[in-house]
């Protein structure tokens, strides 16, 4: 059986699922405040390509994780969203679900 994966456009393991969720929160907040990527990036003095990569959860176009976290903190503060919640998402890794493993686990338990 196939694995169910998060909605990464490509199956690159560097596309961190927590960053993808954080990027979605940031994008929603930015859009709801009628700010373009270029406007927000300019306000924060970061590259619009970096902001876009964060919103897309694309670590391949971003620096080291410590810098990503710093950028995300600044972005969330600028957008006046719950920074603590956003930062806690970095600690929340959701494992990909493998259907076969679940089926095997359930059958083991039902045999007992």
Domain ranges of the chain: 11-111
| Residue 42: predicted pLDDT | 97
Contact 8, 57 (CB under 8 A): yes
| Residue 74: predicted pLDDT | 97
Fold classification of 11-111 is 434 Repressor (Amino-terminal Domain) (1.10.260)
| Residue 91: predicted pLDDT | 81
pLDDT mean for each 10 residues of the chain (112 residues):
38 64 96 97 96 95 93 96 91 64 66 58
Within 10 A of 62 (CB to CB), how many other CB atoms are there? 18
70 membership: H or E segment, kind and range: helix 65-78
Does the model's pTM come out above 0.75? Answer: no
C-alpha of 100 from chain center:
26
| Residue 108: predicted pLDDT | 65
| Residue 90: predicted pLDDT | 83
| Residue 95: predicted pLDDT | 57
Q: Both tokens of residue 25?
A: 């929160």
| Residue 59: predicted pLDDT | 92
């Amino acid at each position: 059986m196939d694995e169910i994966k998060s909605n990464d456009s490509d199956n690159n393991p560097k596309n961190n699922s927590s960053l993808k969720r954080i990027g979605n929160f940031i994008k929603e907040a930015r859009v709801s405040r009628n700010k373009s990527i270029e406007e927000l990036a300019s306000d924060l003095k970061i590259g619009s390509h970096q902001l876009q990569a964060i919103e897309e959860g694309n670590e391949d176009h971003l620096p080291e994780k410590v810098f990503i976290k710093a950028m995300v903190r600044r972005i969330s503060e600028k957008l006046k969203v719950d920074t603590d919640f956003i930062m806690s998402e970095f600690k929340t890794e959701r494992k990909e679900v493998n259907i076969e493993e679940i089926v095997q686990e359930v059958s083991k338990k039902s045999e007992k």
